[in-house]
C-alpha cells in the first residue's frame, strides 16, 4: 500500500533533487569514513549506482583506500592512477557507474584549491560531496558541501546551506 501511494505521489509531484542516496547506505558511508579517517586525516569513497538523465541514484560504495592502500598517506585523499583502473573494473563488473565522490575535511566542508583543480572524475555533471569535521557523528546535513563539476575547473555549489535540495537522503526517493 505504502509503495503504491509513494509511486502516485512521485508521478504527480516528481522530486526535484538530483542525487539520491538511501538512508542506510548514507549512514554506513558516514560511519565508515569517520572510522577510516580516525578523526586524524581525510577519508573518501565513490558512490556507485545509476544515472538516468540528470538524476543519480547511489546503491553501493567503494572506499578510496580499498582502491589504493596509500590513498591517505599524505593526510589528504590522493589516488594513484591504477586506483581508477580498479574502480572502472568494479563498475563494469557490477554494471554501475560513479554517481558521486564523498570525502571528509577537518572543520568546514569547503572546496580546497586542490579539490577545485583536481576533480576525482573530471567530467561535467560529476558530483563531489564534502563532509565536515572528518565525518564525526552526528554530521549536520546543513553543513555538508555538495558541488557539481561543470568542466574546465568550474563548479556549481549545490550545498544545502545555499538552499539547494540537490541531495536526497529520504527513503521516499526510492521505489
Q: CATH number of the domain at 16-173, please?
A: 3.40.140.10
Q: What is the DSSP string of 88-100?
A: HHHHHHHT-EEEE
* Summary mean pLDDT of the chain: 89
pLDDT at 11: 42
Encode burial over 123-154: b for 16+ CB neighbours within 10 A, e otherwise: eeebbbbbbbbbbeeebeeebbbbbbbeeeee
The model's confidence at residue 160, banded by pLDDT at 50, 70 and 90, is confident
Instruction: Read off the C-alpha cell for 160.
Output: 544545502
Amino acid at each position: 500500500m505504502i509503495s503504491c501511494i509513494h509511486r502516485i505521489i512521485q508521478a504527480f509531484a516528481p522530486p526535484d533533487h538530483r542525487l539520491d542516496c538511501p538512508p542506510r547506505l548514507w549512514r554506513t558511508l558516514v560511519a565508515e569514513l569517520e572510522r577510516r579517517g580516525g578523526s586524524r586525516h581525510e577519508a573518501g569513497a565513490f558512490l556507485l549506482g545509476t544515472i538516468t538523465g540528470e538524476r543519480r541514484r547511489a546503491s553501493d560504495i567503494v572506499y578510496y583506500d580499498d582502491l589504493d592502500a596509500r590513498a591517505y598517506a599524505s593526510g589528504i585523499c590522493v589516488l594513484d592512477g591504477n586506483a581508477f583502473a580498479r574502480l572502472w573494473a568494479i563498475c563494469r563488473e557490477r554494471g554501475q557507474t560513479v554517481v558521486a565522490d564523498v570525502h571528509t575535511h577537518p572543520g568546514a566542508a569547503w572546496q580546497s584549491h586542490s579539490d577545485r583543480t583536481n576533480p576525482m572524475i573530471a567530467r561535467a555533471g560529476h558530483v563531489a560531496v564534502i563532509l565536515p569535521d572528518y565525518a564525526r557523528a552526528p554530521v549536520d546535513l546543513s553543513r555538508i558541501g555538495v558541488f557539481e563539476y561543470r568542466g574546465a575547473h568550474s563548479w556549481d555549489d549545490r550545498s544545502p546551506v545555499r538552499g539547494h535540495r540537490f541531495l536526497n537522503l529520504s527513503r521516499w526517493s526510492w521505489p
